[in-house]
Structure formats: structure tokens, C-alpha cells
Structure 1
Amino acid sequence: MPKEENVREVLSLFAEHGESQYGGEAVSQLEHGIQAATWAEREGASAELITAALLHDVGHLLHNLPDDAPDNGVDDLHEVLGAEWLGNRFPESVLEPVRMHVDAKRYLCAADPNYRAGLSEPSEISLQLQGGPMNRVECEAFRSNPHFEDAVRLRRWDDLAKDPDMQTPNLDHFMQYVQQACVRQASTPTN
């Protein structure tokens, strides 16, 4: 798929659904994605990882469930839906951290004794729907994935990206990274 079309699709998704509330948080879906991408950019992440940060919750923009679905006991599996949507548009270095960002929360709850105490109330609710903290075997399997470290970095940016007062660039600023990630996809050999 041409990179210009990917950029148009990303902009269109955020234009159509980005103003919806991000779970029970004080930011919109658009603000949340931009904040996560801003954290990634500040930390010098690759174009692919900045793109993953921007699009990590794209699955929320693709389903028709209400914003309060987790409060009603519904796990929307947005990480799976998002990774599927990203799959034919971006390389694994974008889609795998997106697919793994929910499991990264579960992993960090098991591996870092201080992590869970910092979760917001909506993140705690979704954690329970998503299976709770990982057990030892799940942690080992998670760490064996080559995208493990990027997924953990993305998760930490996700947790920080809930500040209604955070100053960020606009969405257009991040399209340069989306384009770069698409260029790399076009040059990735196919089987």
C-alpha cells in the first residue's frame, strides 16, 4: 500500500473517531495517541516505534463499542484489532509493540513491584479484563519475543499519555514518522 494512502487512513481515523473519550481518562483518543508519540519522540525512539506509540490504540478507533465497555465487563481486544489493521500497512517493528502493549502491562504488573501502584483506575479495571498480572511462564514467553523491550517502552509511554495539560505537537507533525515507517515497509522483503 502506498505510504500516502497509509497517512490518509491514519488522519481519517483520527478525524472520525479521535475525539472520543479514551476510556475513563481525561483525554481523547487523539490526545492519548499524540501524547504517547510525543514521549517516544522525546526519548529518541525510531520512526517505527514513534508510529507504534501514535497508533497503539488504533483498535479503539476501529470498533463500535461504547467508551465505557470495560466498565461493563467487556474487553474490546483492541490490541489484536489494531495489530490486524496495521498488519498490511506497516512492518512488524510497528505492529508487534502494538499487539503486545496490553501484555506489557500484565508483564510489568508481575515483574515490577512498583508498577501496578501507578496504574490509573481505568487501567486497573482493564487489567482485570485482560487477564491480570502474568504468571512466571507467561513472563518468560513474553520476554522471549524480539519486540519485548519496545513493547515495554511503549507501555510506559501509554501510561504517561493521560495528561489533559500536556503540551504536544499536532497530529500532522507525526505523519513524517508514519511515512518513514511506511517507506521501510515498502523495502521489507516479502516471502
Structure 2
Amino acid sequence: MTNDSTTARRRASFTALDSATREELALVREAEVALYDDLPRRILDQLEQLHHVPNGHPVSQLEHCLQAATRAFRDGRSEDYVVCVLVHDIGDVICPHNHAVLAAMMLRPFVDESLCWMVEKHPVFQQHHFYGTLGRDANRRDAYRDSPYYDMTVEFCERYDQCSFDPGYDSLPLSFFKPMVERIFANRGGK
């Protein structure tokens, strides 16, 4: 959160919203502005937490996201796309069973619906690359074949997600992506 001690100390005194005064609601709004202003930093902090997510992969979950985002950046993808790739697994920190849904919900006010759909559905599409090895249905993604975003999600998993577990890959650091994260999440959800 923003280190504005004035905002942190000033609190309304209402105990129910229907008794709040105009002045108290102005204090709430002031805090809300600080909350939005600080969103990019909190997202970057959550991304750093991916380093600690146990995953059994050859690289940390953070390194996986950095590799995927680096590949997308080097392919000349749009900034929105690169940031979506960077944060596609951010939900693993607190919501591993529905990590993609959480990431898509976080992105929805800031990027195009096609990118949110890609992020939300990527786990099913990612299964195509390893479920056969486990003796499971590797084609569950086919249930979404009629979606206009099917091909882009196939491509995301093929080019950026399933191949980003390489300990020798020269990923760009999180600090490189910081200005992109700040720009995408600075617009307060106004797309």
C-alpha cells in the first residue's frame, strides 16, 4: 500500500455505510485512489511471490512466467499481450485450483476480452501438451473449438507457455517488465 501516513491514519468513524457522512465518504474515496495507484506495485509483489510456489518444474513459477513473457516480447507481441503472458499464473500464489480464473478476473478491467479468455482457459489448452503422457484426454480444449479465441489460446500455449521451463533460457528480469505492468494497470480499468 502507498506509504502515505496521512491516508493511513485518517479513518472515518461510521459503523455502517448508511450512516456515513459526505466527509467520511470522501476519506474512503481518497483511500480508494491510493489503492488503485498502488495496484501495479502489488501485482509485481505477487509476481515475486511466484518464486516461492512449489511446482516441481525445472524452474520456479516466476521464472516460467518471465520466460513466457520474454518470448512474447521478443516476438513483438503487444504490451497488453506481454503483460497477460507475464501474469497468466499469478493466481498460483493464493488460488492454485483456479489460478487462471483469478488472473483473468484481475486483467478484465484492463485488457481486451480475447486476452482475458486466453488467460482464463489456458490450463485446459496446456493439457494438450502433457495429458497424453498421463493417459488422459489431451484434447479437452476441443470443447472450445467454436470460440473466436481458440486459435490464439492454442498459439499462446504452444509458443509461450508449454515451452517456458528451460533453466538455460535468458529471460528478461521482472524489472524489465515493471514499466509495462505500470502502464497497463495504471488506467484504473478504463481500457
TM class by smaller structure: 0.5 to 0.7
Give the equivalent residue in structure 1 for 2:171. 168
Percent sequence identity over matched residues? 25
Alignment of 1:78-93 (within 5 A): 78-88=99-109, 90-93=111-114
Rg bigger for which structure?
Answer: 2
Alpha-carbon distance in structure 1 between the residues aligned to 2:145 and 2:167:
33
Q: Point out the more displaced range, 167-176 or 146-155.
A: 146-155
Question: 1:134: which partner in 2?
Answer: 139
Q: Distance in 2 between matches of 1:22 and 1:92?
A: 30
Q: Shift of residue 183 of structure 1?
A: 5.6
After superposition, residues 150-161 of structure 1 pair within 5 angstroms as 150-156=152-158, 157-161=160-164
Number of equivalences:
157
- Match for residue 13 of structure 1 among 46, 66, 78: 46
Aligned residue type for 1:149: D
Supply the AA of the counterpart residue of 2:118.
P
RMSD: 3.0
In the aligned structure 1, how far is the partner of 2:54 from the partner of 2:148? 29
Please report the TM-score for the alignment, with normalisation by the length of structure 2.
0.67
Write the deviation string for residues 73-98 of structure 1: whole angstroms up to 9, x where unpaired.
Answer: xxx23222322333345442442211
Distance 1:149 1:6 in 2: 31
Determine helix, strand or coil for the equivalent of 1:19. helix
Contact 1:91 1:185 in 2 (8 A): no
Give the Cα–Cα distance (whole angstroms) in 2 for the partners of residues 13 and 90 of structure 1.
19
Unaligned runs of 5+ in 2: 1-32
User: Structure 1 length normalisation: TM-score?
Assistant: 0.67
